[in-house]
Amino acid sequence: MSCLVHTHSSPRPRADALFVPLTVGLFVLLLLAWPGAEAHAQADALKAQIDQRAAEIEEEVIAWRRHFYANPELSNREFETAAYIADFLEELGLEVTTEVAHTGVVGLLDTGRPGPVIALRADMDALPVEDRADVPFASTATGEYRGREVPVKHACGHDTHIAMLMGAAQILTEMQEELHGQIKFIFQPAEEGTPPGEDGGAEMMVAEGVLQDPDVDVIFGMHISSQLPVGHIEYRERGIMAASDVFEITVHGTQTHGSTPWTGVDPIVTAAQIINGLQTVVSRKTELTKAAAVISVGIIEGGVRNNIIPEEVTMIGTIRTLDEEMQDKIHDDIRHAATTIAESMGATADVEIRRGYPVTYNDVDLTQRLLPTLNGVAGADNVHYINPITGAEDFSFFQQQVPGLYVFVGGMAEGFTRETAPPHHTPEFILNEDGMQLGVRTHGHVVVDYLFGDE
Examine the domain organization and report whether 232 and 311 are in the same domain: no
Instruction: Please indicate, yes or no, if residue 399 is contained in any of the structural domains.
Output: yes
Cis status, amide bond into 423, omega within 30 of 0:
no
The CATH number of residue 285's host domain is 3.30.70.360
Give the pTM.
0.87
Q: How confident is the model at residue 412 (pLDDT cuts 50, 70, 90)?
A: very high
For residues 177 and 293, membership in a common domain is answered with no
In a domain, 11, yes or no: no
313 and 429 part of one domain:
no
Contact between 351 and 330 under an 8 Å Cβ cutoff? The reply is: no
Q: pLDDT tens for residues 157-166?
A: 999 999 999 9
| Count of beta carbons in the 10 Å neighbourhood of residue 351 | 19
Q: What is the pLDDT of residues 325-350, one digit of tens each?
A: 999 999 999 999 999 999 999 999 99
Active site residue 357: yes
From 78, 203, 234, 433, active-site residue: 433
Query: Using CA atoms, how far apart are residues 354 and 212, in angstroms rounded to an integer?
Result: 28
Among 357, 387, 415, residue at a domain's last position: 357
pLDDT of residue 22: 45
CATH for 138: 3.40.630.10
- Per-residue pLDDT of 27-68, as tens digits, reads 444 444 455 678 889 999 999 999 999 999 999 999 999 999
6 domain residue, yes or no: no
pLDDT digits (tens, 9 = 90+) for 261-281: 999 999 999 999 999 999 999
- Average pLDDT rounded to a whole number, residues 137-151: 96
Q: What angle do CA 59, 65, 68 make, to 5 degrees?
A: 145
Please indicate whether residue 450 is annotated as part of the active site. Answer: no
The one-letter code for the residue type at 259 is: S
My answer on whether 154 and 181 are in the same domain is yes
Over 70: is that where the pLDDT of 455 sits? Answer: no
Under the banding of pLDDT at 50, 70 and 90, the label for residue 15 is very low
pLDDT at 35: 56
Query: What's the full length of the chain, in residues?
Result: 455
Same domain? For 258 and 353 the reply is: yes
Task: Give the model's confidence band at 99: pLDDT under 50 very low, under 70 low, under 90 confident, else very high.
Answer: very high
Mean pLDDT in residue range 358-380: 98
C-alpha to C-alpha distance for 443 and 223, rounded to whole angstroms: 12
Of the given ranges (9-18, 77-86, 246-255, 291-300), which has the lowest mean pLDDT? 9-18
pLDDT of residue 23: 52
Question: pLDDT of 194-238, one tens digit each?
Answer: 998 999 999 999 999 999 999 999 999 999 999 999 999 999 999
- Judge if 222 and 301 occupy the same domain: no
* 52 and 108 belong to one structural domain: yes
> In this structure, are 396 and 436 located in the same domain?
yes
Predicted local confidence at residue 38, as pLDDT: 82
Tell me if 14 is assigned to some domain: no
Same domain? For 64 and 203 the reply is yes
From the list 111, 86, 82, 108, the residue with the least C-alpha distance to 95 is 108
In a domain, 76, yes or no: yes
CA distance linking residue 208 with residue 123, whole number of Å: 17
Domain with 341 in it? 243-357
Query: Beta strand pairing status for 404-410 and 256-257?
Result: unpaired
In a domain, 294, yes or no: yes
pLDDT of residue 453: 87
pLDDT of residue 400: 97
Q: How far, CA to CA in Å, does 358 sit from each of 130, 279, 296, 355, 361?
A: 29, 22, 18, 8, 8
The number of distinct structural domains making up the chain is 2
Mean per-residue pLDDT over the chain, rounded: 93
pLDDT tens for each residue of 374-409: 999 999 999 999 999 999 999 999 999 999 999 999
Please list, in sequence order, all residues whose beta carbon lies within 8 angstroms of the beta carbon of residue 62, skipping any fewer than 6 positions away.
163, 433, 436
Same domain, 235 and 272: no
Q: pLDDT class for 145, splitting at 50, 70, 90?
A: very high
Instruction: Select which of 69, 84, 235, 357 is catalytic.
Output: 357
357, 389, 424: which is the final residue of a domain?
357
pLDDT given for residue 147 in this prediction: 92
Domain match, 156 and 297 both? no
- Last residue within a domain, chosen from 300, 331, 357: 357
Based on its alpha-carbon atoms, the radius of gyration of the chain, rounded to whole angstroms, reads 29
Predicted local distance difference test score (pLDDT) of residue 3: 39
Q: Amino acid letter at 158?
A: H
Same domain? For 338 and 406 the reply is no
Q: Residue 26: which pLDDT band, with cuts at 50, 70 and 90? A: very low
pLDDT beyond 60 at 363? yes
